[in-house]
Structure 1
């Protein structure tokens, strides 16, 4: 019994009533194709069971069909959601995503940079570590289209996409002050990271604009162990403040848990606001008031810049956060 032949791109094109080049572009994303045509070609390809020969495609187009992303910690829920958004965005272009976890270590980050270069990825999204070197990044960008995401690298003039962390810090303070809080503390994130520095500086500056000063503050890396330790330290001083600005939701949730252990009534005796709006923020007790980063838009914009393969000046996209008011904050009095 003869084996049935695998459908080819010619079969897909014929069934869709388009040229072979149009069918190929619709499936690979090498060139833009009308959205309706692309959807039709992809539907027919699925119906026929068409599977592209990725090796042949790579050799012919000199493109791998792969995008790389390097993140500092895949267990960080904000970064997990960012990676998921990027995966959806690249899948829309019929591309695959390679993921590297640098573990916040510059040496490990370099390992993935080399590995992705060797695999000839078509582009790279990088959430840098504190030790990312500008010279290395510039050399990489000469060979591979690169977009830096979320954390700035001093001196980088290429494409960059981030939430406006400074504006988010201002939102935290404005919300608490609007509720009548004047004794406000801060538990900030790792100050080696530009995003954490921006939030921390914005809280202090906004407090000063309101004629106030931060009562007390602590600093933590964005690890669970350190978050728990630093949350305990600052909650031990909770009698000196009525509200707390946390550098991210992990720190806020750690502070919530420690306040519960200390028997502090939330939000009656202490209001807490976080930053990120990770998926767990709405199911804590009380549900966490937080500043939401537009993670899906960050993923989409970063992917868009990467696929456009800009050869001009670097583009700087700053997306606006949103205050999400839940039950962890309350008016004083």
Structure 2
């Protein structure tokens, strides 16, 4: 009989706490406490709690998060917004977010702006309409000189607790807006990597190629992360006494010829760089392919360093900066929970970046 009743209720969607209470002969208050996980708090006997859970399972009861949100003023969801998810940075950061969410009864809604400011605003507004408890955002950054949409983003976020991660576009001051702000130590890491590429050391695989000029390759973005990486590179160049040589791209299309044209021109010059520091992993791999096509041997004729590190199964021969992606995801989520609970913004949190100059492993890119 209970099975038939359960199947009927599953089909009609009528299983409620009252239904469970009636099926096991207990009060609604007792059943509600057990199903919320508060049996111990209210000293409900374990046998009684097991009876409630068994009845709920047999009847097919599911938590009504909409009703719960009306009572608690929380939906148990956060919105997570990235420009895209094609690079390892995004995927590893999401893993860190999930590790933090696993500790609480909370889930995320994930969206991407696809490097489009209008789409970013639509996503934030959609999160707001769905009543998310907070937002984690790696904001879209326009190219330098383009119109800033930061004020519109702030307006769309409104009073929703928010943590900005990895970068802030020009015109957005996360701390002044009361947001959390977590980044990695871009400037220090960029400076250290540039010096290592130029000078090497006894432990580094590039120590035989010393005192060389280092070029910089990155996107020409109006964002704090790119600005800090360029600043670190320029500090190292000034310290070592070589003139900065920068290639700043203004086209995200991977099939665009602008990067190859600029790299070939720089590599053909008499004062061509003997090493390159690259702001992103994807650009570094493309740079390696362009230089190899010109007959340059990685580690012998030219060396390349970049943010990011090799997976164990795919050695590239590139100097890597091991980024704290998962830590970034975990810490930003923990900070968001603090803001949701009414805690104060704590200023900018900077996570360290470790350079990982592992010995090149023989492979396609090491000759």
Q: TM-score, with normalisation over the residues of structure 1?
A: 0.79
- Matched with 2:221 is 191
Cα separation, 1, equivalents of 2:322 and 2:313? 12
Q: Deviations over 1:306-331 (max 9, x none)?
A: 011244344311101010113569xx
- Matched with 2:164 is 148
Residue 172 (structure 1) aligned with residue 193 (structure 2): yes
1:98-247 to 2 correspondences below 5 Å: 98-130=109-141, 133-153=149-169, 154-157=172-175, 158-179=179-200, 180-214=210-244, 216-220=245-249, 223=252, 225=254, 229-231=258-260, 233-238=262-267, 240-247=272-279
Gaps of 5+ in 1: 28-32, 34-40
Cα separation, 2, equivalents of 1:272 and 1:234? 13
Q: Deviations over 1:132-161 (max 9, x none)?
A: 644344445542111111112433322101
- Matched with 2:2 is 2
Shift of 1:206: 1.6
- Matched with 2:207 is none
* Contact residue 187 and residue 234 of structure 1 kept, 8 A: no
Residue 317 (structure 1) aligned with residue 346 (structure 2): no
Bigger mean CA deviation after superposition, 312-321 or 159-168: 312-321
Cα separation, 2, equivalents of 1:320 and 1:283? 24
Cα separation, 2, equivalents of 1:91 and 1:325? 33
Cα separation, 2, equivalents of 1:217 and 1:170? 14
- Matched with 2:296 is 264
Cα separation, 1, equivalents of 2:237 and 2:35? 58
1:25-104 to 2 correspondences below 5 Å: 51-104=62-115
- Matched with 1:38 is none
Cα separation, 2, equivalents of 1:118 and 1:302? 23
- Matched with 1:24 is 36
Shift of 1:185: 1.2
Shift of 1:223: 3.7
User: What secondary structure, in the 3-state scheme, does the structure 1 residue paired with 2:220 have?
Assistant: coil
- Runs of 4+ that moved beyond 6 A: 6-11
* Contact residue 188 and residue 232 of structure 2 kept, 8 A: yes
Cα separation, 1, equivalents of 2:313 and 2:303? 15
* Contact residue 93 and residue 327 of structure 2 kept, 8 A: no
Q: TM-score, with normalisation over the residues of structure 2?
A: 0.72
Cα separation, 1, equivalents of 2:250 and 2:35? 49
Shift of 1:66: 0.9
Q: Deviations over 1:47-101 (max 9, x none)?
A: x867433222222222111110111112233112212321332233121111111
Shift of 1:232: 5.3
User: What secondary structure, in the 3-state scheme, does the structure 2 residue paired with 1:57 have?
Assistant: helix
RMSD: 3.4
Question: Rg bigger for which structure?
Answer: 2
Count of residues in correspondence between the two structures: 306
More helix by share: 1
Bigger mean CA deviation after superposition, 84-93 or 160-169: 84-93
Cα separation, 1, equivalents of 2:105 and 2:119? 28
Cα–Cα, structure 1 residues 104 and 138, in superposed 2: closer, same or farther, change >3 Å? same
Cα–Cα, structure 1 residues 228 and 80, in superposed 2: closer, same or farther, change >3 Å? farther
